[in-house]
Amino acid sequence: MEESCRLSKESSRKFLTLRCFALARRSNHLLRTLTIDHAWEDGSVASVQTMSTGRIVFLGDINGAPGRMVLEQQLPAIRERFGAFRLIANAENARNGSGLTPDLYETFRRFGIDAMTLGDHVYRDARIVSSLEDPLKPIARPANLSARAQGKRLIRIPASVEFPRDLFVFTLLGRVHMPSLLANDPFACADELLQSLPERNPIVLVEAHMEATSEKGAIARYLDGRVAAVLGTHTHVATADARVLRGGTAFMTDVGMTGPHDSVIGRNPEQVLRHFTSGMHIPFEMGSGGEAVQGAVVEVSLETGRAISIERIDFPADYTRAPFRAMHAR
């Protein structure tokens, strides 16, 4: 009997030892799963752990009323898919394809967008300047405009339970094939802003609002290892190159567009074709059809401030549900 008890105890110890080794090997994965993918009650095992990663969702240019409608409809699905995250969106095309109004800014905040960026259409509706000047509103102009340009250059999103570190966001405007708004050197501007941040390993997302893919790729590699992500916007066409660079910076040349994809980058195809085939100036109205929310989700280490992964997102509209159901029933 004593021998049997001794063997039983030794077997139990061996089992527990092997189990501990297995759990240790899986600890990083388990910690991310416990802290990010599930909501836990106070007092649970996960509640005493330190969150190791956080997620940032960045949405491509919200284009007009179609973009606003599909965004409102699909945000619950995005939250269900990715759990807790910081949500940032480029909103410079929200006002009928060009510009942003204070009312639309407030609408997007009610949707749950944590911060908004703007590009070369930043001043198309002058009413947004008051929001840009307000230090309490998480919206900013491109950082590398003239020092005389109105508005904040940098957004700081304070830490919260869901994302327990400050997140810094700024936009760099391109200089290649971007004649509508003159910009200063984006490389020097990025150096200046990063040096001004108060944290040792800040979590920083940089929007590269640029026309040329080469310029976006260059700024991403210039900042590799210094920021969490460099995400491209402006061309409204999602690229297939989402990846984490060697230094730990997530990069995607263009995250796409939140708007109507049965269009020419958001505009009415017939009008665009008339312009290209005639050379005449034709006012471009918003397109419609094929609405989808596009962007990227970046998972970052809360310790190092660098990216762990990046994934392209594409959530098409459900035309059987409001607000599209009534439109397509006509």
75-87: pLDDT as tens digits: 999 999 999 999 9
Domains and CATH numbers, the chain: 54-328 (3.60.21.10)
- pLDDT range class, residue 327, cuts 50, 70, 90: low
User: Does residue 8 sit in helix, strand or coil?
Assistant: helix
Cβ 255 vs Cβ 295: under 8 Å: yes
Active site residues: 121
Give the percent of the chain with pLDDT over 70.
Answer: 83
- pLDDT range class, residue 235, cuts 50, 70, 90: very high
Q: Average pLDDT for residues 64-71, to the nearest whole number?
A: 97
Q: In terms of pLDDT, which residue wins out, 48 or 148? A: 148
Q: In terms of pLDDT, which residue wins out, 77 or 45? A: 77
Residue from 88, 150, 22 nearest 142 by CA: 150
Identity of residue 6: R
Cβ 101 vs Cβ 68: under 8 Å: no
Q: What pLDDT is stored for residue 72 in this prediction?
A: 97
Distance CA 69, CA 71 (A): 5
Two structure tokens written together for 311: 């994934």
- pLDDT range class, residue 325, cuts 50, 70, 90: confident
- pLDDT range class, residue 192, cuts 50, 70, 90: very high
Residue 158, judged by CB atoms within 10 A of its CB (0-12, 13-18, 19+), counts as exposed
Looking at the predicted structure, is the pLDDT value of residue 49 above 70?
no
Q: Average pLDDT for residues 7-33, to the nearest whole number?
A: 41
Two structure tokens written together for 34: 């416990």
Q: Average pLDDT for residues 142-157, to the nearest whole number?
A: 97
Q: Average pLDDT for residues 30-36, to the nearest whole number?
A: 34
Distance CA 91, CA 104 (A): 9
Query: Between the CA of residue 261 and those of 239, 241, 299, what are the distances in Å?
Result: 14, 20, 27
Two structure tokens written together for 216: 């976006």
pLDDT tens sequence across 275-323: 999 999 998 999 999 999 999 999 999 999 999 999 999 999 999 999 9
Q: What pLDDT is stored for residue 97 in this prediction?
A: 86
- pLDDT range class, residue 265, cuts 50, 70, 90: confident
Residues 6+ apart with CB under 8 A from 18: none
Signed CA dihedral, 168, 174, 180, 185: sign only: positive
What is the CB neighbour count within 10 angstroms for residue 252?
28
Cβ 223 vs Cβ 230: under 8 Å: yes
Q: In terms of pLDDT, which residue wins out, 133 or 12? A: 133
Signed CA dihedral, 115, 76, 104, 62: sign only: positive
Distance CA 183, CA 2 (A): 83
Residue from 317, 316, 311, 318 nearest 295 by CA: 311
Distance CA 40, CA 319 (A): 35
